[in-house]
Amino acid sequence: MTKIDVLLGLQWGDEGKGKIVDVLTPDYDVVARFQGGPNAGHTLEFNGTKHVLHIIPSGIFHREKINLIGNGVLIEPRIFRQEIEALTEKGVDATQNLFISKKAHLILPSHRMMDAANEQAKGNAKIGSTLKGIGPAYTDKIARNGLRVGDTLAADFRERYDALKRLHLQQAKALGFDVNAFRVDGMTLDEYERVWMESIETLRRFRYVNSEYFVNQCLRDNKKVLAEGAQAMMLDIDFGTYPFVTSSNTITAGVCTGLGVAPSTIGRVMGITKAYCTRVGAGPFPTQLDDETGRMLCEQGHEYGATTGRPRRCGWIDLPALRYACMINGVTDLFVTKPDVMNNFETVCMCTGYEIDGQLTDEIPYEYNTADIRPQFTPYKGWMCSLEGTASYNALPKELLDYLKAIEQQTGVNIRAVSISPDRKDVLFKQ
Ligand code: GDP
Ligand code: IMO
Ligand code: MG
């Protein structure tokens, strides 16, 4: 029996999970998403082409590998269909190697409406949701109202759909939301519903499976399974910067509930961090830089959301948050991405602790959202050269190797590889 390896983000998302999963896929037989939904935007680049995936696992470009959408994931059928069409255009026929859990929940058009209604009702306290319907769909899952992929085969699917939609219309009305003015991609709720229903037909062309049996059988057959996370540690519903989080468990524990595997089956836990830090949407971000350096990180790192196009907030790497992430997730291997974005920085800083009310701490406090957190920065000398064409990890400039070593010392976790460009080929594994 093999163990299931996990790959997840350690910051506030967009660490480069999609890229690293794509690079690691040749070592695995199955790549499985375990949580999140179309709020995710995972970018892959190879042969000069960029691909962005939202619901489909990032192993899909390796045709001989199985990709699985687990029970913990949310599927929005129209976004799913658009992804499938984009793959088809690129010559990838996902019907052969993409399996879907019957227990994965569906995002209805009215979930997307409720996302907008909830955000509007929150006013200034809004989360900055991607408006893909994530919060409302997980809410219905927990409230035991949800519709699942397997339900699309049931004779009473339409009735159950209509009942849930009616509930949402009542909820929207109670929030004072103008349902008639609501649009998704320029469509009214009813117009969107039509394309959504057509998209259910696309979904039905795929293999629906009891994915918990499927994954456990793979492990018994000594197949190698990689669980691909979406969002990241600091957006976790329990341990993230609540309420400025997503609505799922993004952490290693989420693999057990999102795929149906026992905790004892978890193998390596690979955590990804950028060499700096970003956050998109509202919520605390102690190391954020509202200055020229922050703007340089944003511009040079092309830090614009892969799902919403919003500019990402940028700042220095946050070691207290990273140590917290390593603790909660049991990280065994670190991957560091995007140091190349700081190639022309004379100085690169690392937050090694926080000062809160005159006290030094490296704990993430309960009052994270409201406390006056003063990050304590340690400066490192920049490498001031291009990383392009670096042949191996040890051939990286000394200043960058020192910086990476400091990350290892501060977290107590070894770095397994460093990524130095968006392209698949530019990942340097430590020998
Ligand atoms: P994910 O959500 O974690 O999969 O990450 P995203 O795809 O949302 O954002 C990561 C962005 O950084 C994408 O545009 C990637 O193409 C890009 N990227 C990934 N690794 C590197 C790297 O090492 N260097 C640079 N410059 N860009 C990278
Ligand atoms: P990947 O997988 C970055 C953020 C949103 C918002 C909050 C809640 O690409 O790393 P939601 O739509 O889930 O209700 O939004 O979480 N968020 C992400 N930020 N990367 C993501 O995914 C994210 N998914 C959600 O911006 O602040
Ligand atoms: Mg992303």
List C-alpha distances in Å: 416 to 341, 352, 425, 429.
20, 21, 16, 6
Whole-angstrom Cα distance, residue 115 to residue 108?
Answer: 11
Angle, helices 157-174 vs 109-122, to 10°: value is 10
Catalytic residue among 5, 22, 29, 42: 42
Whole-angstrom Cα distance, residue 21 to residue 30?
Answer: 11
Q: Is 19 in the pocket of ligand 1 (CB under 6 A)?
A: yes
Tokens linked to 232: 């990241």
For residue 306, which atom of ligand 1 is closest to its CA?
8
Protein residue closest via CA to atom 15 of ligand 2:
129
Q: Is 13 in the pocket of ligand 2 (CB under 6 A)?
A: yes
> What is the enclosing helix (H) or strand (E) of 164?
helix 157-174
Tokens linked to 3: 């163990």
> Token match 């149906």: residue?
260
Q: Is 14 tagged catalytic? A: yes
Q: Which ligand gives the minimal distance to the CA of 21?
A: 1
Single pTM value for the model: 0.98
Predicted local distance difference test score (pLDDT) of residue 163: 98
| Mean pLDDT by groups of 10 residues along the chain of 431 residues | 97 98 98 98 96 98 97 98 97 96 98 98 96 98 98 98 98 98 97 98 97 98 98 98 98 98 98 98 97 97 91 97 98 98 98 97 96 98 98 98 98 98 97 88
Predicted local distance difference test score (pLDDT) of residue 306: 83
Predicted local distance difference test score (pLDDT) of residue 307: 84
- Partners of residue 348 on adjacent β-strands: 380
Q: Is 5 tagged catalytic? A: no
